[in-house]
């Protein structure tokens, strides 16, 4: 059994299921081209059990499958953000502080602020 994300015509994830590769290949769940394998243990370009990361992230509904990079990533947040092709995350112009606070990006200030 493996995890597969079903994508729509705009490469948005519709759902993720656990199913045998043969079921996908036989078209039991629809067009086999609409199903992309993913890994439950992959996030931000790392495999948390020490294996090989698969497509940067385990996606959820609404995420995007980027065919060019062969990765899953969340939708682009508003404002300035650049897609990191390794982590599949959106990087801001400045790294998020590592202090034990919760931060959000302030587009107007172009900086992180504590919330």
Distance CA 106, CA 112 (A): 6
pLDDT, residue 56, reads 98
Q: What is the dihedral of CA 96, 97, 101, 103, to 10 degrees?
A: -30
Range of the domain at 107: 2-114
**Is 61's pLDDT higher than 90?**
yes
Domain total of the chain: 1
Q: pTM for this one? A: 0.91
Average pLDDT over residues 25-45: 97
Asked whether residue 98 carries a pLDDT value surpassing 90, the answer given is no
């Amino acid at each position: 059994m493996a995890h597969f994300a079903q994508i729509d015509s705009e490469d948005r994830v519709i759902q993720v299921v656990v199913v045998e590769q043969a079921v996908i290949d036989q078209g039991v769940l629809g067009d086999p081209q609409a199903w992309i394998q993913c890994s439950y243990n992959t996030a931000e370009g790392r495999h948390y059990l020490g294996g090989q990361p698969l497509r940067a992230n385990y996606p959820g509904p609404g995420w995007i499958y980027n065919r060019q990079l062969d990765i899953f990533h969340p939708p682009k947040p508003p404002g300035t953000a650049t897609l990191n092709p390794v982590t599949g995350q959106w990087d801001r112009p400045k790294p998020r502080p590592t202090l034990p606070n919760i931060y959000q990006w302030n587009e107007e200030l172009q900086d992180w602020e504590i919330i």
